Amino acid sequence: MHAEERHQAILRRVREHGSMRVTDVAGDLGVSPVTIRKDVEVLAERGLLARVHGGAMLPETVAETAPDTAAPSPAPGLPLVLGMIVPSASYYYPDVIKGAREAAAAQGARLVLRVSDYDPGEEHAQARQMIDGGIDGLLIAPSGEVGRPGAPHWHEELPVPTILLERRPDENAPAVEHVVTDHVYGARLAVRHLVDIDRQRIALLMRGNTPTAPWIEEGYRAGLRAAGLAAPEDGGFIDLGGEGYEAVSYDQPMTTFLDAAAAGRIDAVIVHPENDALALLQRLRGRGLAVPRDIAVVSYDDEVAALADVPLTAVAPSKHEVGVTAVELLVLRVRSPHRPRRRMFILPELHVRESSSV
């Protein structure tokens, strides 16, 4: 089909129905959404229709219904389509997804989910596919180096409004919006609780390669300073690396920690992520150390902490609220493109259980 034939088909659809969605017309004409999007741009430049997110309308319809703004807004009667890319659908993110799905339904929007399995290249491809498919906005939790100095900011260059989920860009990043758990606050909350139960030698045991690690470490150190404490020597902050439980890179720092705990140089620990907290209980038992008598344990994430043989006190991010807030922020951005940008922090809670009981 020639370009002029496509243009006539697009104009006919808009005149008959008052509006059109790029994906619908692309499917009917057997061409890609990118081709139709370019056709819409040409027709809009000629003044024959008005572009809106995901489609087009008659110019006079936009003038009657749209707010006083130069930016296109979603067409009345066309539900928003929001994309969502998360690294996992089995750990941490199920509640985020649930909150986003419920919020999208409340907004009359459709949520399209992709899971990247922590593959940055897959995230790039998924984002492009969803944009080509005609999404109006994107929620994404990148798996790369977001938050670390010099990290790439490819998500800021996407041609649709984008909100980061549970990721904070570094200070030099562009003004991308995000909705994140305040992990600095969460780690400080854990330290304060341990100080309140008279623990003075508090360690941090975690995987340093996780996206949240820098903020948890910052909150841990800030919590110690606020309490007038220092990290225990030779075992205060221990990075377990990124390998499995049998790897030397994991076993060596874990042994360092256990030696310090057995020698009494540590009487409490904050552990992230949670599967390492569960594994730690077994290793402490193997050393003859009792929880919480010899060492109090606070887990981070609260996925299955309550199910441990010694129920774990845990910092619990408000994951459902992160999903709800992210969708609400994205819809607001799509509908009001020129409003000031926002960065939202959701405070976690502390669920106290047997592993740190007095």
pLDDT for res 249: 81
Domain match, 86 and 151 both: yes
Domain match, 290 and 257 both: yes
Query: Is 71 a member of any domain?
Result: no
- Rounded to whole angstroms, how far apart are CA atoms 22 and 34? 9
- Rounded to whole angstroms, how far apart are CA atoms 311 and 305? 6
Domain match, 32 and 131 both: no
pLDDT for res 99: 95
Domain match, 51 and 96 both: no
Asked whether 325 and 71 are in contact (CB, 8 A), the reply is no
Asked whether 201 and 265 are in contact (CB, 8 A), the reply is yes
Query: Is 76 a member of any domain?
Result: no
Q: What residue type is assigned to position 31 of the chain?
A: V
Query: Is 103 a member of any domain?
Result: yes
Query: Is 72 a member of any domain?
Result: no
Query: Is 145 a member of any domain?
Result: yes
Q: Show which of 34, 65, 96 is a domain's final residue.
A: 65
Helix (H) / strand (E) containing 3: helix 3-17
Query: Is 338 a member of any domain?
Result: yes
Domain match, 197 and 309 both: yes
CATH of the domain at 327: 3.40.50.2300
Q: Show which of 39, 65, 91 is a domain's final residue.
A: 65
Domain match, 99 and 120 both: yes
Domain match, 168 and 86 both: yes
Domain match, 301 and 203 both: yes
Query: Is 298 a member of any domain?
Result: yes
- Rounded to whole angstroms, how far apart are CA atoms 315 and 228? 22
Query: Is 29 a member of any domain?
Result: yes
* pTM for the full predicted model: 0.75
Asked whether 137 and 163 are in contact (CB, 8 A), the reply is yes
Question: What is the span of the domain harbouring residue 112?
Answer: 81-182+320-347
Between the alpha carbon of residue 217 and those of residues 106, 220, 231, 267, 302, the distances in Å are: 37, 5, 11, 18, 18
Domains: count for the chain:
3
Q: Show which of 65, 93, 110 is a domain's final residue.
A: 65
- Integer-rounded Cα Rg, in Å, for the chain is 25
Domain match, 176 and 197 both: no
Domain match, 45 and 121 both: no
- Rounded to whole angstroms, how far apart are CA atoms 115 and 14? 35
Domain match, 240 and 187 both: yes
Domain match, 304 and 324 both: no
Residue with tokens 């003859």: 288
Mean pLDDT (10-residue bins), the chain, 358 residues:
82 82 87 85 78 74 44 57 93 93 93 92 92 92 64 72 87 78 97 97 92 92 96 83 80 91 94 93 95 96 94 96 97 89 94 93
